[in-house]
Structure 1
Amino acid sequence: MRKWWPLVTVCLGTFMLLIDVTIVNVALPQMATDLSTSFSSLQWVVDGYALALGVLLLGAGALSDTHGHRRFYVGGLIVFALASLACGLAANPALLVTARVVQGAGAAAMFTTTFALLNSSYQGRDRGVAYGVWGGVSGAATAVGPILGGLLTEAFSWRWIFLVNLPICVAAVIMCFTTLRRDGARLPGRFDLWGTATFTLAAGTLTFAVIRANDEGWSSIKTWGLLAVSAVSLAAFGLIEWRSADPMFDLRLLRNRSFTGILTAGLLVNFAAFAAFTYTSIWLQSVTGLSPLRAGLVGLPMSVAAMLASGFAGARLHGKSPRLIITGGMVLIGAGSLLLALLVGPASEWPALLPGYAVIGLGVGLVMPALASSAMAAVPHQRGGMAAGALSTARQLGFAIGIAVLGTVFASRAADHLGSSSAAHALAAGQAGRLAGSVPSSAIHGAAAAGLDAGFVISGVIGLICALAVFVLVRPVSAPEPSVREAVGV
């Protein structure tokens, strides 16, 4: 049993950092009430974490290679713990969002060292078992997040979804020093500071522009100014990486059509499959009146369907072209989102979500394992770590951008129905109760349904576009053999 303690140590950190992507969703209405947050602040509570985790993964990987993987993992745990404490004690939205960004930075430091720590701890068959367990824990974090968030929020308060991380972090740090191998001497290497800075600026200003468009409008000079900064920063990142002798991301990988298609799928799958759940959780609690726990349980059919589809794909679709598997999965995700748009109306309750959730779950179960293995097979072996980091980065960025875009759409459609931007923002921020005295209940339900339906339609279209892109770009080859790099978390 002793040999598996390094795996337990790594899985503790992985479970925490992945569960914090989704655990906040069911707590958003209570946060909004306690902190009197604006709609933009509520979006940043989710996006700040996902964005920091996404944009810092590649740079953190390079730093961990030179400074030591155990050192970096421990440092990430400490940063994550302190930021979690700050989240739990936050007295206003600005402090909460700032702490979430720092928490995301700590999560990036932990996540980027996962493969290296498992590789150094296990060999041969044991390594395969370790990666299988780690992959299962990663998948479980996605399913458990909303349920655990609902339990903690309902039994105590939303602050405990962050404070519960503290004892786990303390235990994980102690286990790092007692179970993981010591790092050797620091290796020489150059950190791609300018590449990291320009990529972070590009992703951050793009997300900020979309969120700010809720208040400023798409015709605003400020909105277009932010978009211009994002475009210039992205161009600068490309130029820096092209000219760098040791790039954070080798742009030559994009010459491979299959890898480009897989990276596109990674960027769009979280947008199409998961971004709308932030707003369905708000709708379930603040409009239909569900408790945080029941709202979390509504998503369980999707998780079950994903696990069943993943098991079926592993048993029956081995050796099939990943092009067809990913394309079929994205078609299901798109179809599930469009089904939600058809079923959710002003008079709907939580059962209206279940059929669409189940179809989306089937698609997710097909796409996620195939994405990971295909990304590794599409690039040279020595670029496998870079490919894994790029795929994880794309998925987190797609999630962050999706939340921003769908939030703008939700608020815009709700404003059209309510005739008031401030009322629409209050509804989107989970504060429907504040509108009860001044806005008819039928109008609130109609506005919420309109906002959700518009988001589902966009998610569905994104899913179908992604399916077409994968079918066109990814070459029709046999599925790659399983690899220890296949497990890439949410």
Structure 2
Amino acid sequence: MRKWLPLIAVCAGSFLFLLDTTVVTVALPRIGADLSASVGQLQWVPDVYTLVLTVLMLAAGSLADRWGPRRTFLAGLVVFGLASLACGFSPDIGMLIAARGVQAIGGAALAVTGFALLVAHYDGRERGTAISVFFAVNGLGAAVGPLAGGVLTEYFGWSAIFFVNVPLVVLTAVFTVFALGRDTPARRGRFDLAGAAWFALGAASLVHGLTLGGEGRWTSPVTVGALVVSVVAFAAFGFVERRPEPLLDLRLFRDGGFTTLVACAAASTLTFAALVYVSLWLQTGRALGPVAAGLELAPLAVASFLTSTLAGRVLHRFPPRVLLGAGVLLGAAGCLLQLGLAVPAGLAVTGIGVGIAGPATGAAIVAAAPPGRAGMAAGILTTTRQFGQTLGVAVLGIAYQAGGLAPVYVVAAGCGGVTGLLALVPRKQARVTT
């Protein structure tokens, strides 16, 4: 049992940061009413969290390789806990959005270091089991958020969804100190500050531009300017990453298999992006309360958790592309079922797909990463997933405002279907050494 203590500590931290990606979804109507916030302002409550996660995860992974994953993990817990207090005490929507951004700084550290710690502590079949349990808890954290948020919001108020984090952070930190051994940083050398800055600017500008466009402001100078800045920033990022010790080793993307792997990781997150609008529709279109809306979304959490838990037993039996393709295609099929109003069945099928694709993606990215770059591998994986979800919320928001829930399902199913089919095409796995 002792050998699994690091897994328990890592899963507790990851559960916290992922819970907060979706826990606010059913609380948004109450937050809007209490803080007199518009729909556009409310969209930033989940968006700023996932955006900051996206912007900082690559940097956090690189820092973990140099500073040590255990130190980074504990620092993330402290920041996350303090920011959760600030969220709960927010007197207005501006303060809440700002506090959510700080909360995501801690979440970014928890995200990448958790996966890196698993890679450092487990090998062989034990690593496959650990990765499966890790993704099972991740899926549970993200998918159970609406239900937990519904119960807390309905009976204790929306502030409770943030206050509950504080005792959980304290317990996780204490457990981490005793369960995880001291750090042995794998990398030395200078941190790629230029790469981190250009990536942050590109990601923030792109999501901001898409969000403004979703509000019908495509021709606004601010929208056009944000999109242009994103293109320039990503081009500059690609240029500076050609130097030694990059934040992201771009040589990995020379192989089509790795690129498809990253695309599948992004596509699988559209499921959780869609939950924002499914929750809004359940509470506004069907007049359900927060708890009832959360229960409607529960099949996804249950199916994802059970499937991920069992996936570790078969990871070594199938090529990663088969599991990835099957998982993403099942997620797309679940969206189509929901489009046909078979919402519980569709959520269950989507949950099965998420449960298959998550562990397979993690195992494949670890296999492709250079030796000693577990932090970078975790940064690639978590950044891809969070960037996919952040862009998903923005893009699906455009679809939702244009035609309601149906276009949301169509877009999510279409993206999942295309990437899932591409994943099934045989390609050689990339492997880069440094």
Match of 1:370 in 2: 360
Give 1:256 shift: 1.3
Match of 1:254 in 2: 253
Give distance in 2, aligned partners of 1:317 and 1:146: 29
Give distance in 1, aligned partners of 2:184 and 2:396: 46
| Correspondent of 2:416 among 463, 481, 485 | 463
Match of 2:338 in 1: 340
Give distance in 2, aligned partners of 1:151 and 1:98: 25
Give distance in 2, aligned partners of 1:399 and 1:410: 15
Structure 2's unaligned 5+ residue stretches are: 430-434
Give 1:453 shift: 0.7
Give the AA of the match of 1:112: V
Give distance in 2, aligned partners of 1:466 and 1:126: 29
| CA 148–225 in structure 1, closer or farther in 2 if over 3 Å, else same | same
- Alignment partner of 1:245: what SS? coil
- Alignment partner of 2:325: what SS? helix
Give the AA of the match of 2:402: S
Give the AA of the match of 2:296: V
Further displaced range: 388-397 or 4-13: 4-13
Match of 2:173 in 1: 173
Give distance in 1, aligned partners of 2:92 and 2:209: 22
Give 1:412 shift: 2.8
Per-residue CA shift, 1:269-308, capped at 9, x if unaligned?
212x221110111111233121211211111222333345
| CA 73–460 in structure 1, closer or farther in 2 if over 3 Å, else same | same
| CA 116–278 in structure 1, closer or farther in 2 if over 3 Å, else same | closer
Give distance in 2, aligned partners of 1:5 and 1:307: 20
Match of 1:284 in 2: 282
Give distance in 2, aligned partners of 1:95 and 1:161: 16
- Alignment partner of 2:37: what SS? coil
Give the AA of the match of 1:19: L
TM-score when normalising by structure 1: 0.80
Match of 1:421 in 2: none
Give the AA of the match of 1:283: W
The higher radius of gyration belongs to 1
| Correspondent of 1:475 among 423, 427, 431 | 427
Give distance in 1, aligned partners of 2:77 and 2:318: 39
Give 1:320 shift: 2.7
Structure 2 residue 86 is matched with structure 1 residue 86: yes
Give distance in 1, aligned partners of 2:198 and 2:214: 25
* Superposition map of 1:40-439 within 5 A: 40-118=40-118, 133-183=133-183, 188-242=188-242, 244-271=243-270, 273-310=271-308, 319-343=317-341, 352-383=342-373, 385-413=375-403
Per-residue CA shift, 1:106-153, capped at 9, x if unaligned?
111122222444566678887776555544433332343222111111
Same amino acid, percent of matched pairs? 45
Give distance in 2, aligned partners of 1:460 and 1:110: 30
Give 1:261 shift: 0.6
- Aligned-residue CA RMSD in angstroms? 2.7
| CA 179–378 in structure 1, closer or farther in 2 if over 3 Å, else same | closer
- Alignment partner of 1:275: what SS? helix
Q: Is the 8 A contact 1:121 1:181 kept in 2?
A: no
Question: Number of matched residues?
Answer: 429
Structure 1's unaligned 5+ residue stretches are: 344-351, 414-450, 478-490
Q: Is the 8 A contact 1:335 1:359 kept in 2?
A: yes
Q: Is the 8 A contact 1:299 1:357 kept in 2?
A: yes
Q: Is the 8 A contact 2:186 2:372 kept in 1?
A: no
Give the AA of the match of 1:253: L
Match of 2:432 in 1: none
Give distance in 2, aligned partners of 1:128 and 1:310: 11
| CA 257–409 in structure 1, closer or farther in 2 if over 3 Å, else same | same
Match of 1:452 in 2: 405
Per-residue CA shift, 1:363-404, capped at 9, x if unaligned?
223322222222233455455542332122111100011101
| CA 456–182 in structure 1, closer or farther in 2 if over 3 Å, else same | same
